[in-house]
Amino acid sequence: MGKRSGMPNISRAGQRALERYLKHLSGAEDLSLPTLRNYGSDLRHFMAWCEASWSEGQAAMTAFAPAQVTTSTLTQYRSFLKTTLRLKPSSINRHLVSLKRYFAWAAETKLVTLDPARVVKLVPRVAQAPRHLSDREEHALVVAVTTAADLRDRTIILLLLHTGLRARELCRLQRDHLSIGQRSGLLKVYGKGNKYREVPLNATARTALQAYFAQHKSESHYLFPSGKTGGALTERALGHLIKKYATQAKLPDVSPHNLRHRFGYRMAEAVPLHRLAQIMGHNSLDTTMIYIRATQSDLQKEVEKIAWV
């Protein structure tokens, strides 16, 4: 299963071809050392596979030559990565992209007449449900920020959980973007590409904002001004804020986007997709569809329903 050997041996001809390409990459492109190593490793493994495949049943080894590689060679290698090594689609695609880059260069430098990798397709990736907080995790996060008695931070977290705003959208909210009545409320949001939408506020969000305004007086026109500059809160500062309380709640890897996903996932259980797309500022329902895909935990719960024990 799945793991490649360290660094396979290749012929002298293969080694020369590899070194020539790596020399080109290091000189012509601004690539980091880890990236160069990855390209070199991917190409070396392909060369070794080619030489082993071409030499099978032969008395002498057939050395690697780029001109001998066909589109069929590459699709067979893709199948090898998938069925023999059982690599994940993301890993297979990294190998294929490395080979596509190599053969595009080989075609440019006339090492091959035609690029055999140009028509080779990547492996489709199955979209996974986005990471979002569970009921327990959401409760722990809210308890952490409430215990800290920081009304601004609590309001920010509750607003993210109950509106699904992007980090950038929340940071740029201004006081005059907000309208609150007794039984309704509205946020005027300028999202990606400055696209305008209106996001309704539920009772939880309205109550939190009213409490925030009652105690937080500010001359800044931003809804949540930076404590240091008085200007807009930065996305980086927002990320640190969320991480601080997530750490206190003993929750790993929580970002503002996870709170947006929590909102989207919960809303998708009861709201038609076209309405959820409108609230979240999606241009396509395909994007909104991620919230109706079950998580691995959800699927586990479903199959347990028919277990015999």
pLDDT value at position 1?
Answer: 36
pLDDT value at position 262?
Answer: 92
pLDDT value at position 97?
Answer: 95
109-150 pLDDT, tens digit per residue, is 999 999 999 999 999 876 665 677 889 999 999 999 999 878
Give all domains of the chain, ordered by start, each with its CATH number: 12-108 (1.10.150), 135-299 (1.10.443.10)
72-120 pLDDT, tens digit per residue, is 999 999 999 999 999 999 899 999 999 999 999 999 999 999 999 999 9
> Has residue 21 got a pLDDT over 80?
yes
Share of the chain above pLDDT 70, in %: 93
pLDDT value at position 182?
Answer: 84
How large is the average pLDDT for residues 203-207?
Answer: 95
pLDDT value at position 130?
Answer: 66
Name the band, by pLDDT with cuts 50, 70 and 90, for residue 30.
low
- The DSSP bridge partners found for residue 196 are 190
How large is the average pLDDT for residues 188-197?
Answer: 87
Tell me how far apart the alpha carbons of residues 202 and 183 are, in angstroms, rounded to a whole number: 8
- Tokens read off for 274: 């076209």
On average, the pLDDT of the chain sits at 89
Share of the chain above pLDDT 90, in %: 64
How large is the average pLDDT for residues 233-256?
Answer: 94
39-85 pLDDT, tens digit per residue, is 999 999 999 999 999 999 888 899 999 999 999 999 999 999 999 99
Residue carrying structure tokens 């990565």 = 81
267-295 pLDDT, tens digit per residue, is 988 888 888 889 999 888 878 887 876 55
Catalogue the long-range contacts made by 231-235 (C-beta closer than 8 Å, 24 or more residues apart).
232/171, 232/172, 233/170, 233/171, 234/171, 235/167, 235/168, 235/171
Asked if 233 and 256 count as a contact pair (C-beta separation under 8 A), the reply is no
Q: What is the 3-state secondary structure (H, E, C) of 117-183?
A: CCCCCCCCCCCCCCCCCCHHHHHHHHHHHHHCCCHHHHHHHHHHHHHCCCHHHHHCCEHHHEEECCC
Name the band, by pLDDT with cuts 50, 70 and 90, for residue 7.
confident
